Structure 1
């Protein structure tokens, strides 16, 4: 078993202040590892980075087409959104169209990350609801599938037919039997896999075409929807949205809590998965930018890239204090 390797550093003046270590794997569409750093066998919870895997039953089963879901809604089914008015309205309209309500969700509520919507709630003396949950789009997809197969309302139960379908798809696409699951922040099971397994799944998504079998066609549609509608996947100021915009729809990206990040590169038939050991989002964003630049799909001078890698740190007076960059030897 290999150890984590240094990937990202923070320098303050002439002193190395912090080092973030992690693991990363690149796989091709045939499931072969083409490059790896750290331990490809490191078992992780992919957290929200695997939402496109969790959405496979929604599309593959025909549930999405049965209710006429749009590409924007498919992107929302893979989202960790900001809870902005755009996202809240889209989820509300989706469920209303199904004859369902906010109370049918099982994700719980939290304050929206979007400042404008948060301030609107404060001014209106309203509390957040489940539509504001960053996973409410995924849960709308869960409800759509559950309604399609006429399953019970407790769709986050690990033994629910939906979760069994997700686990089966997850294990087939990662090429691994999951060693278990944890309960995610939105109450849904999150199945564990290795970094290599997650990269293998992303490589499979990259190679999926609309001429393939039902599962491959579902993967192709989800990937294209994410790349076409990056605003629905995350939101303003977020890495997933800004970096997908920068690459003009050629790559689909998804982050997850505790510094997991994945990328799907259809033009290269490559998938990337990475995990930063200390859970630092700063480091996972810098590392994914470095890998995308390394593979030639992201301009290192694009503002979305420079915001996260080789990013000058400034204090509240605007003084330059440090820089975030890749560790020597990584890439």
Structure 2
């Protein structure tokens, strides 16, 4: 099922490049020094395209942008309610967190409630992105552990589901009941069969789909309301949890957290590795997905901010928006050196 070999690799890259458009530019002086190409698509709650740039059919790995989809079986199975999970824990299940104290303490507590510990995780150790947490480990002469992994909240959710299903300990394996439940939910909300799968940074399978399929999933989350069936209730609860606890989804200084705070409950957004970004806009009934081809985070953050402004949920004058949309580049001495701009014709 996985793509393999030079020919498959070349075909995938070529197909992803096809139809890409300029999205974000980096200017230094009077020269465009870097130009980031990509694709973006906006859909309504029925999955119909509202607007698109580039190729909506480009096949991508959503990476961590689809964690709310991976969390659907946690709620739909009844595992979340049986474990008494709070909205803050549901937000953490969708997180790519910084490994700050608020994150590591929450994951440790969650595992403890199940009678489990760090050794039960299968995400691997990772140095915290949060500087105080990283420095505290250095001062204590300690090494990072799996709880510091940015995906440890998602994996705590996997363990909760696994305990409910009675599966084996290796819950990241593709044919494990946890991952098969995730696969089924993924195909249902994207509206298409997966194009393959790869191993994500946290060792769990990541399923490939078209950018349109990913946007379609976000559109369905945007249209979901509690009390309208098992799937819609789960989608609405996860969206609300993310919007209510943006600090659990990423962390201080991170785009997901800063922009969700700036939008004050109007959208749930989530980044993924290699410059993927998605957004759920319940009040507008819209789902958004984008991919910057070269994998540059500065470009995906600028692109999603531009689309959030375009669709009326983000004030372009808000400091969190200005920091991503058109940030100034300065030298080590503070001299103005350039700026990042959204390309003409995009958003």
Residue 160 of structure 1: aligned partner: 176
Residue 280 of structure 2: aligned partner: 264
Distance 1:60 1:122 in 2: 41
Distance 2:272 2:346 in 1: 22
Distance 1:187 1:212 in 2: 34
Please identify runs of 4+ aligned residues in structure 1 that moved more than 3 A: none
Q: Does 1:14 align with 2:34?
A: no
Residue 94 of structure 1: aligned partner: 110
Pick from 212, 216, 220: which aligns with 1:196?
A: 212
**Paired residue secondary structure (2:153):** helix
Residue 79 of structure 1: aligned partner: 95
**Paired residue secondary structure (1:307):** helix
Question: Normalization by structure 1: what TM-score?
Answer: 0.99
Aligned alpha-carbon RMSD (Å): 0.7
Pick from 128, 133, 141: which aligns with 1:112?
A: 128
Distance 1:247 1:310 in 2: 18
CA shift for structure 1 position 17: 0.8
1:44-68: CA deviation from partner (whole Å, max 9, x where unpaired): 0000000000000001111000010
Unaligned 5+ runs, structure 2: 1-14
Distance 1:24 1:327 in 2: 13
Distance 1:316 1:245 in 2: 30
CA shift for structure 1 position 182: 0.5
Q: Does 1:310 align with 2:310?
A: no
Distance 1:155 1:216 in 2: 26
1:189-214: CA deviation from partner (whole Å, max 9, x where unpaired): 00000100000000000000002110
Distance 1:330 1:52 in 2: 27
Give the 5 Å matches for 1:138-153.
138-153=154-169
Residue 129 of structure 1: aligned partner: 145
**Paired residue secondary structure (1:308):** helix
1:47-96: CA deviation from partner (whole Å, max 9, x where unpaired): 00000000000011110000100000000000000000100000000000
Residue 250 of structure 2: aligned partner: 234
Unaligned 5+ runs, structure 1: none
